[in-house]
Amino acid sequence: MWLGPEEVLLAGALWVTERANPFFLLQRRRGHGKGGGLTGLLVGTLDVVLDSSARVAPYRILHQTQDSQVYWAVACGSSRKEITKHWEWLENNLLQTLSIFDNEEDITTFVKGKIHGIIAEENKNEQPQSEEDPGKFKEAELKMRKQFGMPEVEKLVNYYSCSYWKGRVPRQGWLYLTVNHLCFYSFLLGKEVTLVIQWVDVTQLEKNATLLFPECIKVSTRDSELYFSMFLNINETFKLMEQLANIAMRQLLDNESFLQDKSLPKPRKPLKNISALKRDLDARAKNECYRATFRLPKDECLDGHTDCTLWTPFNKMHIPGQMFVSNNYICFASKAEEACHLIIPLREVTIVEKADSSSVLPSPLSISTKSKMTFFFANLKDRDFLVQRISDFLQRTPSKKPCGSDREWKWNLADPGCEVPELPSSSPLAVSPMSALSSQPINFCAGEVPTASQGLLKLFRRNSEELSGPKGAKEKMKEESWNIHFFEYGRGMCMYRTAKTRELVQKGIPENLRGELWLLFSGAWNEMVTHPGYYADLVEKSMGKYNLATEEIERDLHRSMPEHPAFQNELGIAALRRVLTAYAFRNPTIGYCQAMNIVTSVLLLYCNEEEAFWLLVALCERMLPDYYNTRVVGALVDQGIFEELTREYLPQLSEKMQDLGVISTISLSWFLTLFLSVMPFESAVVIVDCFFYEGIKFILQVSLAILDANMEKLLQCCDEGEAMTILGRYLDNVVNRQSVSPPIPHLHALLTSGDDPPLEIDIFELIKTSYEKFSNLKADDIEQMRFKQRLKVIQSLEDTAKKSVVRAVSGDIGFSIEELEELYVVFKAKYLMSCYWGNNRAAAVRRDQSLPYLEQYRIDVEQFKELFIALTPWSCGAHTPVLAGRLFRLLDENRDSLINFKEFVTGMSGMYHGDLTEKLKVLYKLHLPPALNPEETESALEATSYFTEDVTAEVSPFVSELDFCLHFESQETQEDKGRTNENGPEKEEKGASPQDYRYYLRMWAKEKESKKETIKDLPKMSQEQFIELCKTLYNMFSEDPVEQELYHAIATVASLLLRIGEVGKKFSNRPMRRSEDCKANNTQDPVSEEESPTSEQSQNSAVEQQPQADHEDKTCRDAQPEKPQQENQTLGDASGEGQSSPLQLLSDDETKDDMSMSSYSMVSTGSLQCEDIADDTVLVGCEGSSSAARYGSTIDTDWSISFEQILASMLTEAALVNYFEKKVNILQKIKDQKKVERQFSSSSDYELSSMSG
């Protein structure tokens, strides 16, 4: 490519001049190409270690003038062809012009200007986004593509200098991290190492330090462990590797491919060697951390953050921390953990103003909200820019009219001491439970949307003396504590969240405030107020619609807290149904999962329907990610974290629990339902309080506290059942003595042992213990552990899927389990390629997780061709893709242009396993419809023009037996339809019943007998199809060691079969004479009216509807009168349908003549394409006396041959029998295919050495 002229001082150092003229030099890098010796090895090593551009462009052109010592690089090239093209352009367009100039400076100026002009012209057509990447990075991406053969769509994210440890020897080189692959290249003194690993194959990533590997990164796959060290910035590299592996796991989990964010703001200063893609991934990581810290909606993007201080009025201090600004929020996090967190939605902001700076408060900023709160920030570095950004976001913030809930919320904010107002009696749900049951059901679709109801607990609260007793007093004290907290720290979304807030949550949230605070702490309130009417619309859309999710919901509705009075009537059940169904329609990928009903029923006790819906959204999509999908991946991930934490904090118990296998049993029920299904309700709801404030960290620390409390008993357990009994009994007796609600009977079986009364455990003591012993768990650490476990869990699920698929197909396929597993890996890798690089391919459409494992990965015809070419034992050279396309059409039974793994291995097994007959049957089918396209047979029509004698075609007026029957059925169909129309609709209905009955019988028989297909069931082959078969066989033998022997054999067989087909034509006139008899006696169902009576179309139709056609064929023959049975038998023998050998058709003398001529080819030149025939192939036997010579310039449509005749002829040639019966090792082919899966670029004129890594 052309380069912007760069000055070169030493033109001869490490370069060899190959061409020269007065103004230009063409040079080659030393060591590039053949030879080079020790100097070449040293130069090559230097280029790799120093990341020289000469590794990618080993050719260059320099501009020079006679008297100057300075050279200018004007072009470089990766191959001799590319650089020669530039050299010739310079010689043809510039040399003559330059010779006119007198001044050398003018020459150099002119050359520079010309080169800059060419570069500018070329850059006009480039996509603008590529200009975001710096030049050095583009060069690295070019090296990566050239070195590893990656396509243009594979984007490089970043590259690092490091060492790869091969054994105990470090190989210095370059690590390239792309979106889908980890690649490494090293070249040291002639030793080359090339590694390519897909991120989806990575099972473990670890950063560790050992004596052997100082501070290295370990990358594990199923097959190997790779160590990389000597990074300049190991932390940055490891984080990026984690991100890319995480994206790959997400792709395996729900088929989400990586899409680059094009809307990223451009950096204020140009970033050196950082790609736009790397900036995108960095931004994603920051966004995820920001959203998780402040529980913000999933679409919130961080714009920037800056250090500052916040004035906290409750303790009269300036707290140092960071301010975060995004599209809809301003947030603050103190540097000291839990000193203070603050979230200010921009929809609440009224004034943003810059206050006067002072030595005490430099660069202060005040932000006022609608709730009359003012926040003071100071020590802002770039205050003016920050205010401008906030102003821009404020202008974009929509000013929506507050809904009813919003007004109620503001009323609460204005008067913190008041209680939540009772709903007016006119409100649709503000009625007593009894009247609600007797009244008409509420129509939520007719304007009365379920957004104004209270929590069900208020509607179904029974009169309890507890409210006036000591428990009631305790509850009022709690409420008063919270009211004081609201007064000091604020109420609502803009509340200061401090350690004091957490202490209050640990003591239990009062029932009247529970719904409000759950919404705040989970972040669900933000989504609810920014999506007014969303839930009502979902309810309306989902009403009356049924699918698998709604069926499961209906089944579980009455199992959701049936012990609570709120769910013992239709009011609570209907509310639960609406919330669950609405969520299933919002998120079809999750739909409905067991345990969601239990959690949602508890949410409905304290919140109205809309609030419960948004809490469920926060729970499923943010707080417990991937918990409620079909494979409960999130719960399995956190179960892995729990096991890891048990090893760390309770090492004595960990090994025992592992042996008993208890953790995997208990953790799913504990985590999925947040202890609601295993603890008494009054206690479990306190766990939920802390969970909404702390997140999964709290669930893990409580689980550890429970194991710790039962350690002694668990260590003495003998089996899993005993351990489960101990833990179940313990959890059943966790009580909440402060609850003001009447106790709800816990349906979990009370597990008691002996006569001792169970020991009660106070829930608040359990929570206190968990914080005392395990509070040093950090949210960041848990996220890090989640990544590690996610790799393990998803890869384990993929292994399970592989075993499941292999087990499902192994019974019908000839391959061994090991071979099937290897084939599955290759098949899945090919599918994933469509996700990486397929863009609009049908195979890359989102994978449906609800489908069986066997149907989840499917490939299209292009991918199948690539696999077929790599794995087939029948290599046909340039003809192989054609054969692959035919096999794909044969396997694609449902005609959706995609095949699954079972169909794939069925096709492969047909070529690898079975005897000669089975393999020939596959080959035979590949030359019949639907495998053979009508367009492909047109070449056979053209081929007939090469026959030696151009005699006028003798087209027989008769057709083959099968075609005749179909022709007859077609005529009968038209007559039957005419009679039906005359007789009226009653007759039509009457006649439909036996037709349907027989149709289903045929379908049933087809399913039962599909595996018992015999060679007699195969339709006959026409002449054009036979010619295609000969072409395939000819191409198949072209690369075989004994190809001459095979050519001779196939020529003999082809000539014999052509004559057999000719002889068969002589007997094809008899069925037509009996056509009237056949028509009169036939009782078979009519075929489709659209079928043409011409022989060629009838034959194609017969193949496409094989079961029906075969049945019709038999019926037609059975319908013949008894008298001509002998004639029919003769016909069957003549066409190859009988048991006798095809050679019996000829007399002894004819047979003798045929055998004496078998050393020559009787196949006419028209049966093969001219270009397919080798020079040394002998073609004789085309004399006028030969039956094959009677062809004219068109295909003989009366000619046909059966499979039995082909098989019998093949068996006469030992070379053909040996070829089809030889065993081929598919595992070796798979191994070879993996090696060449990444074809290295060979655009340069020297080949890379074979992969030694």
pLDDT given for residue 605 in this prediction: 92
Predicted local distance difference test score (pLDDT) of residue 121: 77
Tokens in use for 1186? 């030969």
The pTM score is 0.72
Structure tokens at 682: 């009054």
Torsional sign, CA 671, 674, 679, 683: positive
The rounded mean pLDDT for the chain is 75
According to the per-residue pLDDT averaged within each range, which of 325-339, 921-935, 1133-1147 is highest?
A: 325-339
Q: What is the pLDDT of residue 939?
A: 53
Q: Which amino acid is at 383?
A: R
Of residues 273 and 239, more confidently modeled: 239
Parallel/antiparallel/unpaired status of strands 734-735 and 761-762:
parallel
> For 924-948, what is each residue's pLDDT tens digit?
999 888 888 776 655 545 444 433 3
Please provide the distance, in angstroms rounded to a whole number, between the alpha carbons at the two ends of the chain. 31
pLDDT digits (tens, 9 = 90+) for 41-80: 565 555 555 555 544 567 888 887 767 777 888 888 777 8
pLDDT value, residue 844: 54
Closest CA to 370 of 402, 338, 324, 327: 402
Q: Which residues pair with 835 in a beta bridge?
A: none
Pairing outcome for strands 202-208 and 191-198? unpaired
641: tokens are: 């974290």
> What is the rounded distance in angstroms from the CA atom of residue 429 to the CA atom of residue 715?
52
Q: What's the mean pLDDT in 293-301?
A: 91
pLDDT at 182 over 90: yes
pLDDT given at position 843: 56
H-state helical runs in 203-344: 234-254, 276-294
Residue 1135, burial from CB neighbour count under 10 angstroms (0-12, 13-18, 19+): buried
Angstrom distance (rounded) from CA 934 to CA 912: 28
Taking the C-alpha atoms of residue 421 and residue 1086, their distance in angstroms, rounded to an integer, is 77
d(CA 625, CA 620): 6
Asked whether the predicted pLDDT for residue 660 surpasses 90, the reply is: no
**887 contacts 926 by C-beta, under 8 angstroms:** yes
pLDDT at 1069 (0 to 100): 52
Q: Which helix (H) or strand (E) holds 230?
A: none
Task: Compute, in degrees rounded to 10, the torsion defined by CA atoms 483, 488, 493, 496.
Answer: -130
Token output for 1227: 């595992």
Predicted pLDDT at 536: 93
Report, as an integer, the average pLDDT of 107-123. 81
Which residues pair with residue 227 across a beta bridge?
218
Say if CB 892 and CB 863 are below 8 A apart. no
Residue 109's pLDDT is 86
Written as six digits, the tokens of 418 are 């008041």
Average pLDDT on 250-265 reads 67
pLDDT reading at 92 higher than 50: yes
Q: What is the mean pLDDT of residues 529-552?
A: 91
> In 3D, which of 561, 517, 572 has the Cα closest to residue 682?
561
Q: How confident is the model at residue 170 (pLDDT cuts 50, 70, 90)?
A: confident
Which residue in 296, 280, 195 sits closest to 243, CA to CA?
280
26 against 500, higher pLDDT: 500
| Among the ranges given (466-480, 503-517, 964-978), the one the predictor scored with the smallest mean pLDDT | 964-978
* Residue 271: exposure state from Cβ atoms within 10 A (0-12, 13-18, ≥19): middle
- Strand, helix or coil for residue 1147: coil
Average pLDDT over every residue of 159-187: 87
Ramachandran sector of residue 595 (left: φ over 0; alpha: ψ -120 to 50; beta: rest): left
Q: Which of 79, 90, 82 is nearest to 25 (CA)?
A: 90
Structure tokens at 370: 């609608």
CA dist 526 and 520 (Å) reads 8
pLDDT tier, 102 (very low <50, low <70, confident <90, very high otherwise): confident
The whole-angstrom distance between residue 387's C-alpha and the CA centroid of its chain comes to 43
CB 1162 within 8 A of CB 922: no
For 979-1013, the pLDDT digits (tens) are: 444 444 343 333 344 456 667 667 666 655 545 56
- Model confidence at 749: pLDDT above 80: no
The answer to whether residue 544 scores a pLDDT higher than 70 is yes
Dist. CA 47–CA 806, nearest whole Å? 47
Task: Measure the CA–CA gap between 508 and 712, rounded to whole angstroms.
Answer: 30
Other beta carbons within 10 Å of 209: 11
Rounded distance between C-alpha atoms, residue 286 and residue 283, angstroms: 5
Flag whether pLDDT at 34 surpasses 90.
Answer: no
Instruction: Tell whether the model's pLDDT for residue 1206 goes beyond 70.
Output: yes
Cα gap 882→878, rounded to integer Å: 8
Helix H or strand E segment including 317: strand 317-326
The answer to whether the beta carbons of residues 702 and 766 sit under 8 Å apart is yes
Q: Which residue has the higher pLDDT, 842 or 977?
A: 842
Asked whether the predicted pLDDT for residue 343 surpasses 90, the reply is: yes
* DSSP string of 932-971, one letter each residue: S-TTTTHHHHHHGGG-SS-PPP---S---HHHHHHHHHHH
What is the spatial distance between Cα 41 and Cα 358, in angstroms, rounded to a whole number? 66
Q: How far apart are CA 13 and CA 399, in angstroms?
A: 69
Residue 1175 banded pLDDT, cuts 50, 70, 90: very low
With a cut of 50, say whether residue 1121 has pLDDT above it.
Answer: no
In the sheet that holds 169-178, the strands lie side by side as: 191-198, 181-188, 169-178, 156-166, 225-229, 216-221, 202-208
More confident site: 1238 or 251: 251
Question: What does residue 486 show for φ and ψ, rounded to 5 degrees?
Answer: -60, -40
Per-residue pLDDT, averaged over 133-143, amounts to: 75
Give the confidence band of 538 by pLDDT, cuts at 50, 70, 90: very high
d(CA 1029, CA 1022): 11
Residue 144 or 133, more confident = 144
pLDDT in tens, 796-818: 998 998 999 999 888 778 888 99
Strand partners, 217: 207, 228
Digit-coded pLDDT (tens) for 396-413: 887 654 444 443 443 333
- The burial class, CB within 10 Å (0-12 / 13-18 / 19+), for 1031 is buried
Distance CA 251, CA 833 (A): 12
- Which of 256-260, 903-907, 1149-1153 has the lowest average pLDDT? 1149-1153
Torsion sign, CA atoms 1112, 1117, 1118, 1121 = positive
Average pLDDT over residues 771-798: 90
The pLDDT score that the predictor gives to residue 474 is 86
- Strand, coil or helix: 29: strand
User: Taking 70 as the threshold, does the pLDDT of residue 1202 lie above it?
Assistant: yes
More confident residue, 969 or 760: 760
What letter does residue 28 receive in the DSSP assignment? E
Distance CA 583, CA 617 (A): 7
- Model confidence at 772: pLDDT above 70: yes
Element holding 79 (H helix, E strand): none
The answer to whether 1020 touches 1202, Cβ cutoff 8 Å, is yes
Q: Which residue has the tokens 């959203």?
A: 291
**Nearest one of 218, 245, 216 to 791, comparing CA atoms:** 245
More confident residue, 514 or 60: 514
Q: Is the pLDDT of residue 1099 over 50?
A: no
At residue 666 the predicted structure's pLDDT band, cuts being 50, 70 and 90, is confident
Please list the residues that pair with 444 across neighbouring strands: none
Closest C-alpha to 416, from 341, 471, 494, 469:
494
Q: Over pLDDT 70: what percentage of the chain?
A: 68
- Is the pLDDT confidence value at 622 over 80? yes
Q: Residue 329 in 3-state DSSP?
A: strand
Coil, strand or helix: which one is 715?
A: helix
Cis peptide before 930 (omega within 30 of 0): yes
pLDDT 10s digits, 876-897: 888 899 999 999 999 998 888 8
Tokens of 291: 């959203």
Residue count of the chain, please give it: 1253
Instruction: Note whether 670 and 815 are within 8 A (CB).
Output: no
Q: How many CB atoms lie within 10 A of CB 568?
A: 15
pLDDT at 1155 over 50: no
Q: How far apart are CA 564 and CA 572, in angstroms?
A: 10
| 99: Cβ contacts below 8 Å, ≥ 6 apart | 22
pLDDT at position 1003, please?
67
pLDDT of residue 1141: 38
For residue 1152, the model assigns a pLDDT of 37
Quick check: 133 pLDDT over 80? no
Q: In sequence order, what DSSP letters do the residues of 753-770 get, joined into one string?
A: -SSSPPPPEEHHHHHHHH
Q: 173: pLDDT confidence band, cut at 50, 70 and 90?
A: confident
* SS3 category, 332: strand
Let me know: does 376 contact 532? Beta carbons within 8 Å.
no
Residue 860 falls in which region: left (phi positive, over 0), alpha (psi -120 to 50) or beta: beta
On whether the CB atoms of residues 816 and 872 are closer than 8 A, the answer is no
Residues 179, 155 contacting (CB under 8 angstroms): yes
Find where tokens 């057709």 sit.
959
